A and B are shown apart, each in its own frame.
Chain A
Amino acid sequence: MALAAFSTATPPQQDQEPAQRRRSGIALVLLLPGVLYLVLFFLTPLVSLIITSFQAPVLDGDIGQYQAAFRWENYTEAIGEYWPQIIRSFVYAIIATAAALLISYPLAYFIGVKVRKYPLLQNLLMTLVIAPFFISFLLRTLAWKQLLSDDSWFTSSLKAISILPPDAHVTGTAFSVIFGLTYNFIPFMTLPLYSTLERLDVRYLEAGNDLYANAFTTFRKITLPLSLPGIVSGTLLTFIPAAGDYINASQDFLGGADTSMIGNVIESNFLVLQNYPTAAAMSVVLMAVILVIVGLYVRRSGTEDLL
């Protein structure tokens, strides 16, 4: 089902090519339209972004008028002005990713290993995991805003049982932004974890048990290493959208005056202030950091086949 799209672990490819090698003309016809599309509307825009990030304002021009230039200062000025947002984005995204992993791993383990005997139930539970995808992302986030607002039944009952101090505000804080990021990207974490844990051979766990390993050692030495590919793709799939998100941190949603992230900076500079070079420079910075993290992460964990 739709699940397959998110499980980045691909089944092993068999090399059964012989007679088909000479038919590479067909392959070209099949590939060309889609590849050309991505070159035109994915790669070229990235180049446009880099060009825009060096543009200089037109002398005596209107707001939003820029000309081709090689203005390095766009970067130093943008980083100088927005370094708190840059750091905040990555801190929020790292915490949200860790929280999503802690919540998702036992859930994925339960559905992938414990419920394995009942395939239909397994599918139904996974449908519940992806159910949030089928309702508007913005409305889900607004629902949490209402649920976490000062006088909601949710917040008041947390206050009643002293989990929260009586004068606490939840919305508009770093906590609520990270909470929203965690909530919104849990399915992205659970799906790849599930797809590796579902294939985990339980006989390895029994072997660990037979060799007198306790539950913790069995988990650390067997389950965890075997599910590493799922952990790698899950953390990437959660971290990347979380670092670039600007809905949760927006003041109309779960954020406050001092929770804005890189996404908010790019959005307001591009769409409100028409300060395109700054927005483009920040996008390039975000993309570069993410590409470096993705590269390091994948190399360290040794999972080269992501698609």
Chain B
Amino acid sequence: MKRFRFKGLGLGVYAFLALAFLLIPIVYTFVYSFNDSLKNNIAWRGFTLHNWTNVCDAAGICDAFAASIVIGLISTVIATVLGTMIAIALMRYRFRFRSQTSLLLFLPMASPEVVLGAGLAAQFLSLSVNKGFGTIIIAHVMFCISFVVVTVKARVASLDPALEEAGRDLYGSPVAVFWRITFPLLLPGILSAALLSFSLSFDDFIITNFNAGAVTTFPMYIYIAASRGIPAQANVIASAVFIITILVVLIAQIAASSRAKRLARLS
């Protein structure tokens, strides 16, 4: 018994160290957003709030941030709609070419990003398409769809079919059953798929780099700045996005767990 406890403790310490390892660069980025730095945010020169109150001081950074937000929102909406439709079809209907469809959805996740990026760029090149906002959005939707399908599919699988049957028994039309029963039940899954899509799109560099043309997204801004020095404002934007996303995730989790507790009490 004593040995068992000690083993559990060792594993806990190990897990704590591994998590600390994962979080070190996040803490570093956050701390250095307060650095009173010159052009290059490397040496610690003292604490300041200036970077947080004057985010747009670094030339071009706010344009890049705005570009990433717009691209992220548009890509998320398109990918979430297309992916949710596929997820519902995969879980609720049998059809021919089902396994081929699954393979088609799996392959983008199993392809290195550099291949996806170079492939699209080669296609745009052969069709003489000018690269810019449109081509970035096309690329982002492409790699987000599969992740949306997997996320929503997990949610569809956990739905109780009896609820929809009850709706049909009460003479609900298929459209009414979908919008009043299926869709609300799927909504948490759809929202987390959308959040995931947005994070993937917002942070993508490798595929975007091949298809951006003259447009600079936030990750591209960092890549270009990396050779001459990153302004502390980049840390401010990244930290702010991090804090907002993590708050959304935590609130969703706490809400889900308290709902689960309520349901457990009811039944």
* Residues of A bordering B, CB below 8 Å: 1-2, 4-5, 7-8, 10-11, 13, 16-17, 20-21, 23-24, 26-28, 30-31, 33-35, 37-39, 41-46, 48-49, 51-52, 103-104, 106-107, 109-111, 114, 119-120, 123-125, 127-129, 131-144, 146-147, 183, 186-187, 215, 236-237, 240-241, 243-247, 252-253, 262-263, 266-267, 270-271, 276, 279-280, 283, 286-287, 290-291, 294, 306-307
Contacts and interface: CB of A to CB of B under 8 A. Distances in A.
B127 to A, nearest CB: 9
Interface string B143-159: 00101111101110110
B114 A283 contact: yes
A286 B117 CA distance: 13
Contact of B209 (A133, A267, A306): A267
Contacts of B210: 267, 270-271
Contacts of B151: 2, 4-5
B14 A135 contact: no
B180 interface: no
Given A34-B83, A51-B122, A142-B226, 14 more contacts: A2-B151, A5-B151, A21-B94, A34-B149, A41-B120, A41-B141, A49-B119, A103-B21, A128-B22, A128-B23, A138-B205, A215-B7, A244-B114, A271-B210
A107 B14 contact: yes
A124 B252 CA distance: 11
6 nearest A-B pairs in the assembled complex, by CB-CB distance: A244-B112, A45-B119, A27-B93, A143-B25, A30-B89, A34-B82
Contact of B115 (A124, A138, A283): A283
A33 B145 CA distance: 11
Contact of B235 (A24, A38, A139, A263): A139
A283 B93 contact: no
B contact residues, range? 35 or more
B176 interface: no
A5 B161 CA distance: 22
A138 B219 contact: yes
**B122, B123, B250: which has the most chain A beta carbons within 10 Å?**
B122
A132 B254 contact: no
5 contacts: A24-B93, A138-B223, A143-B29, A147-B28, A244-B206
A91 to B, nearest CB: 16
A127 B92 contact: no
A4 B154 contact: yes
Contacts of A34: 82-83, 85-86, 145, 149
Contact of A127 (B91, B139, B249): B249
A136 B26 contact: no
A123 B161 CA distance: 27
Nearest to B252: A1
Contact of B138 (A27, A41, A243): A41
B189 to A, nearest CB: 8
Q: Chain B at the A interface: mostly helix, strand, loop or mixed? A: helix
A106 B112 contact: no
Given A46-B119, A143-B25, A247-B206, A5 B150 contact: yes
Interface string B185-206: 0000100110110010001011
A186 B22 contact: yes
A306 B15 CA distance: 27
A83 B113 CA distance: 20
Contacts of A286: 112, 114-115
Contacts of A106: 11, 14-15, 18
B154 A110 contact: no
B94 A17 contact: yes
Contacts of B125: 52, 276
A136 B238 contact: yes
A26 B241 CA distance: 39
A97 to B, nearest CB: 14
B249 A2 contact: yes
Nearest to A279: B118
Contacts of A266: 114-115, 118
B29 A48 contact: no
A287 B19 contact: no
Contacts of B122: 45, 48-49, 51-52, 276, 280
Interface in B102-119: 102, 104-116, 118-119
Nearest to B147: A5
A33 B203 CA distance: 26
